Amino acid sequence: MKRLLLPTLSVFVFLSLSYAGYQSWRFAQARAESAPLSAVHDEAPAALADAPNVPPPLRRRHAARVRLDIEILEHQKTLADGVSYTYWTFGDDAPGKFIRVRQGDVVETHVSNHPDNSLAHNVDFHAVTGPGGGGDVTFVAPGHSATFTWRALHAGLYLYHCVAAPAGLHIANGMFGLILVEPPEGLPPVDHEFFLVQSEFYTTGDYGEPGQQGFSMKKALEERPEYVVFNGHVGALMGDRSLKVRTGESVRLYLGNAGPSLVSSFHVVGEIFDRVYGEGGLDVTQREVQTTLIPVGGSAIVEFVADVPGDYQMVDHSMFRAFNKGAMGMLQIAGPGREDLFSAPVVPAVYTPEARTDRELTVITAAADSATAAQSGAHIYATICATCHQQDGRGLPGLFPPLAQSDFLMADKDRSVQVLLHGLTGKIVVNGKPFDGVMPQLRLSDAQIAAVLSHVRSRFGNDADPVTLADVERVRSQSTRAQSRSLAATRTAQKNPW
C-alpha cells in the first residue's frame, strides 16, 4: 500500500508545483502585457471635457507625460428647480471633467484645495496602481496643494472620487468623475461619445422641497436618498441639455456609478445596446442587451446605432428613482423616419371596454350641486392627476409641470379644458420652466372635467373662478366643429389634388 501511495503522492506534488509555476508564469505574462512601460516621448496636457461631453480620441500612439490639474471647490449650486445645495466638486461642477489618457502614460497630477474651502479633501483614482489610488498623497487642507505621478498601466474606464473620511459624505456631495485609459490602438471609431455618472443626494428636506438643503447623515446611513440623478442635477440631461444625434449614427456612452450606495440599472427606453463592455473593461462582455448593471464605484460602456427618430428616455430602471427622484435623461434622435422598423398609427383607435378611469370614477355623476362637484374633483385629482403632478400640485422638476400657482393653467381656462379633452404633447413653458412630455387623453365626462379643473383652480395657491359644465360643453363643441372643418378640407384636397 505504501509503495503505491508514495509514487502517487509524488506525482500529485509534481503536478501541483508545475501548475502553480505555470499560473505564476501566466500571471507574469499578463502583467507584462497589461503594463507596457514604454518610453515617454513628450509632454502633453490631459484631454478634458465637461459633462456630458467627452474629449476626442487621442491621436498619438506613444506614451507621454500628461499634466492633470484638479481644483477642489465647495460652492452652492442648483440641485433641482428651486433647490440649492452646497456641492463639493473637482472643478466647477459634478461630475468632474471626463479625463482621457493613453495606456502607458505617466500622469503628473496636481491637486489644489481652494483656500475658501472649509475641509480637507483628496482624490482616489481607480485607474491608479498604488496605495489608496493616490488618496493618501493628495490629502490636502484648504489653501494647499499636492502633486504625485502615476503610470496608467491598465486600459479601461475608471471612476475617480474623494476618499477623505467620511468618504460617503464627500462622494454624496459631488466629488466624483470618470477617467478613460485608452489602449495603445485606441477604441473603435463611433460618431458620438457622451458620458453620464449616476449619484445620490441625501438632503434634509424632501424631494423638491425648495430652498437651501443640507446633508442628512441619517438618510445616508439608511441608504435612503431623496435624489438619484444623472450628472449631478435633476434635469441635467433633459430639455435643451438632452443628448442629440441623428439617425444612422453610432453612439458610445461611458457610464459611471458614484453611488455612494445604490446599484444602477441603466436602460434607454426604446433602444437595445449592441455591445456592452461590462464593469468598465475593454472586452465586449455582452451583445443585444436591454439593461446593464453598474455597480457602486464601477462603470460600463455601451454602444448602439440610432435607428429611429424620436425622444428616448435614459433611466435607472428602478423606476421610482427615475420618475420620483430624478434619475432620468433624454436622448433626442433626429432624421428621417424608418417605417420599416417602427410605424406609429396615424389615427388612434377607440377601445370601448370599461377603462380604469371608468371603474374608479363610477361614483362621480353629473350632479349640479357644488358640494358633490367639489368631492368629485378632489377624488379625480387624488386617483389620477396626483400620480404625475403630486398630491401638493408641485409636479416633478423637469418631468411633470406644476399645477400649483401655474401661469400656464390659470392664463387660459379654455386651453386647460382642451388639454383634458384631447391630451397634450410637446414643449410648453410653465412658470418660466420648459417641459417636454406627453399627457394622454383621459376618458373623462364633461362633468368630471369641470369638477377636477375647478378643484385645481381653487387649490395649491390658485384662486380662480370654477370651470362649469357649460364651459366644457362649449369647448368640446368648438373642437368638434374645428375637426369637422379640417376633415372636410382634407377630403376636398384629396378629390382635387391640383
By the 8 A CB rule, do 76 and 68 touch? no
Last residue of a domain, one of 334, 367, 398: 334
Write the single-letter amino acid at 362.
T
Choose between 464 and 179: higher pLDDT.
179
Is residue 253 domain-shared with residue 373, that is, in the same domain?
no
360 and 326 in one domain? no
Percentage of the chain exceeding pLDDT 70: 83
How far, in Å, CA of 327 to CA of 340, rounded? 32
> Residue 483 CB: number of other CB atoms within 10 A?
11
pTM: 0.72
Instruction: Write down the pLDDT at residue 388.
Output: 84
> Is 308 in the same domain as 360?
no
* 369 pLDDT above the threshold of 70: no
Same domain, 318 and 252: yes
| C-alpha cell read off for 346 | 396615424
Sheet containing strand 243-246, edge to edge, reads 243-246, 328-334, 310-316, 264-268, 291-294
* Mean pLDDT, all residues of the chain: 86
Residue 427 and residue 318 share a domain? no
**Of residues 10 and 133, more confidently modeled:** 133
Choice between 478 and 216, residue whose per-residue pLDDT is larger? 216
- Same domain for 204 and 93, yes or no, is yes
Distance CA 86, CA 496 (A): 66
Per-residue pLDDT reduced to its tens digit, 453-491: 999 999 999 988 899 999 989 988 887 655 555 434 444
Any domain includes 495:
no
Looking at the structure, do residues 423 and 277 belong to the same domain, yes or no?
no
70 domain-assigned: yes
Do residues 209 and 69 share a domain?
Answer: yes
Question: What cell numbers appear for 53 in the block?
Answer: 461631453
> pLDDT digits over 248-268, tens only?
999 999 999 999 999 999 999
- pLDDT category at 314 given cuts 50, 70, 90 is very high
Question: Is 221 inside any structural domain?
Answer: yes
245 and 377, same domain (yes or no): no
Overall average pLDDT of the 130-147 stretch: 97
- CATH code for position 289: 2.60.40.420
Whether the pLDDT of residue 91 is over 60: the answer is yes
Res. 195: pLDDT tops 90: yes
What is the C-alpha to C-alpha distance for residues 447 and 380, in angstroms, rounded to an integer?
Answer: 11
Domain that holds residue 446: 356-483
Phi, psi of 349 (to 5 degrees): -85, 160
Residue 285 shares a structural domain with residue 167: yes
Residue whose C-alpha cell is 428621417: 336
* pLDDT-derived band at 181, boundaries 50, 70, 90: very high
Range 130-138 contact pairs with CB under 8 angstroms and sequence separation of 24 or more:
132/163, 133/160, 133/163, 134/109, 135/163, 135/164, 138/109, 138/111
DSSP state letters, 246-261 = ETT-EEEEEEEEEESS
Residue where one domain finishes, among candidates 304, 334, 364: 334
Q: Which residues contact 229 (CB under 8 A, 6 or more apart)?
A: 79, 198, 199, 200, 201, 236, 325, 326, 327
Q: Does residue 324 share a domain with residue 439? A: no
pLDDT score at 71: 98
Q: What CATH number is associated with residue 426?
A: 1.10.760.10
pLDDT higher than 50, residue 317 = yes
DSSP label at residue 383: I
User: Which comes out higher in pLDDT, residue 139 or 445?
Assistant: 139
pLDDT at 443: 72
Peptide bond into 166 cis (omega under 30): yes
Best CA proximity match to 397, nearest among 75, 76, 83? 83
Q: How far apart are CA 92 and CA 73, in angstroms?
A: 7
Q: Is residue 350 part of a domain?
A: no
The verdict on residue 492 lying in a domain is no
CA distance 293 to 360: 38
- Are residues 296 and 409 part of one domain? no
Task: Specify if 340 maps to a domain.
Answer: no
Provide the domain count of the chain. Answer: 2
Indicate whether 48 belongs to any domain: yes
pLDDT of residue 371: 59
Residue count (the chain): 498
CA angle 375, 376, 377 (to 5 degrees): 95
Task: Tell whether 392 is covered by a domain.
Answer: yes
- 243-260 exposure pattern, b = at least 16 Cβ within 10 A, e = fewer: bebebeebbbbbbbbbbb
The confidence score (pLDDT) of residue 390 equals 84
